[in-house]
Structure 1
Amino acid sequence: TVAAPPESKYEPAGHAGQLMHDLACFSCHRINGHGGDMAPDLSWEGSSVQRKWLQDFFKNPNTLRPALIRRMPKFNLSDSEINELTDYIMTVYQSPDVDRDAMPLSGYPAVQVEQGKQLFYSKYACQSCHIIDTKTDKGYIGPTLTQVGSRLSATWIYKWLKNPQSLRPGTVEPNRNMSDEEARALTAYLLTFKGSAKQEAKK
């Protein structure tokens, strides 16, 4: 049995850091080796998500993982608090291996998008764990992808498809050993699914 790494003494800085403590973020989330494990690790959150989605999520947290019992509470934050937390997360929690602006969020060729769709539903059967079409997909293990094109950066999606373990060691997402072409096509397809956290919360 491999021993778990020791708990770090990481503390977020400034007023945003104090807000995170006041909201008890570390009770559920882990950042830089410190915190809980009941919600996603946020160490690289600034590299993974889009700013507008994060702001909307703070206003109206939605369910990204239908199978989880625990839900992100609504904290009724002020706009200034939301902006402060968003600025801090987007600036500080960056992966050195992910340039979130390296790939565009739109403009991919239709043939590439179609290739990605075929890979999603046929070769890799991603719908076994994820939901894009709420009427037909039955995947409840992984996060829902109905708004992934507005939620995640293109580079994060691509890097995740290539090697999820490199971004979040221990994740249940398997490494499919995708080619660069396949990962780009799947990224192009996933980016077509737009929608805000606010819209998703109303469903």
Structure 2
Amino acid sequence: EDIYRPPDKKVLLQMNCNICHRYDSLTPGADYINYAKKLIKEKGCRACHKINGRGGVIGPDLTYEGDKSPEQFDYSRVGGKKSVFAWHVAHFKNPKMVSPESIMPEMGFTSREAIALTLLMLSWKKVNLPPEYYPQSYTALADLPTPEEIEKERQMREGEGAFFVNKGCFVCHSISVFGIESAAKIGPDLSNAVEDVPSRFGKTLENFIKEPTGTMSIVLGSQIMLSDEEKAQVVELLTKAYEKYRKQQLTSKP
């Protein structure tokens, strides 16, 4: 199976239909597109990427990703047929293999998931059509968050762990004792970082935050820049989180 090519011409029709139906959560007959939209929510892609005006800024804005010209991509590390479609599929499967400077982690996408997401992204184009061309169900041409999403974000941004949300740490890490849930869950839950960091890295949490190693040295060196005061705040907050974590562990034991 050549995953670097669309499965058949019908899926390309789904991609083209979504140019107008981009704000639909479900579009009849567009199975790949519907699946990809579900993945966008489940995998927390907006934590890093801005899509339709909403999302983070750690990764590139994907709102009009489909408008990029083929010349903007480096195909030297892409197998199979060299195309924009192939580039995106390969990048979803293994970001750093395709683009070594990419900070996107490997998400473990299956071939079907990578294909679906690629079709969706290539449908995100800027078009100017008369209002009557759009589905009549649209009350506004916008991708609006659900009331549940709004409330969850409010709770995380106003709660005890607001610092980690505002700094973008929650993209990869949950802090469950503070009610912070990472959609991607790439890194460990930081609720017990005080205990976990020494066992992993042989350093105290304070020393690790000051002199991180591995992936965190890249993240804290180029993406999430912290002042000395903010580093001290991280240690203080995670120490508080660990105290809550230990209390929960003790009370949960019979």
TM over 0.5: no
User: What TM-score does the superposition give when structure 2 sets the normalisation length?
Assistant: 0.30
User: What TM-score does the superposition give when structure 1 sets the normalisation length?
Assistant: 0.37
Of Structure 1 and Structure 2, the greater helix share is in 2
Question: More relative contact order in 1 or in 2 (CA 8 Å, sep 6+)?
Answer: 1
Select the structure of larger CA radius of gyration.
2
